[in-house]
Amino acid sequence: MSNAAPRPSVLFVCVHNAGRSQMGAAFLTHLAGDAVEVRSAGSAPADAVNPAVVEAMKEVGIDISAETPKILTTEAVQSSDVVITMGCGDTCPVFPGKRYLDWRLDDPAGQGVDAVRPIRDEIERRVRALLAEFGIPAASA
């Protein structure tokens, strides 16, 4: 039995769970491996992940083509240590005792891959900063 701290759990939330939250979850999974439990969801999930987002992530070696947008549930929020909201405003439920981070980022919906790249790069930067805060070394890309 190890005395390691329980692994932190992070939930990324945006309205459609088709762009920003998918990128956040993919970067955190990619960089943290099993050190962090990662979820993503949307308050009004789209039918599919934004193809420009899939393409932009593929450019950095992360394949999210098999991901599907998921509905945000109360359980997902309650079982997460950190909830990162990305432009969902008042539609994201708030629970006491949870740490909330609001990452204000442009919405990639309807944008081409050129517009998605800077959003992707900013999400990666913030995910790396979050890992550093957790004291978890990021895997090399």
* Phi, psi of 36, rounded to the nearest 5 degrees: -135, 140
Cα 75 to the chain's mean position, in Å?
17
10 as an active site residue: the answer is no
Find the distance separating the first CA and the last CA of the chain, reported in whole Å: 31
Bridge partners, residue 39, by sequence: 11
The enclosing H or E element of 99 equals strand 99-102
Considering only CA atoms, give the Rg of the chain.
Answer: 14
73 as an active site residue: the answer is no
* Dist. CA 134–CA 52, nearest whole Å: 30
* Dist. CA 117–CA 52, nearest whole Å: 9
Catalytic residue among 11, 92, 119, 138: 92
92 as an active site residue: the answer is yes
Catalytic residue among 25, 52, 76, 88: 88
Catalytic residue among 10, 14, 18, 35: 14
Q: Report residue 24 as tokens.
A: 């956040």
Question: Which residue numbers are catalytic?
Answer: 14, 88, 92
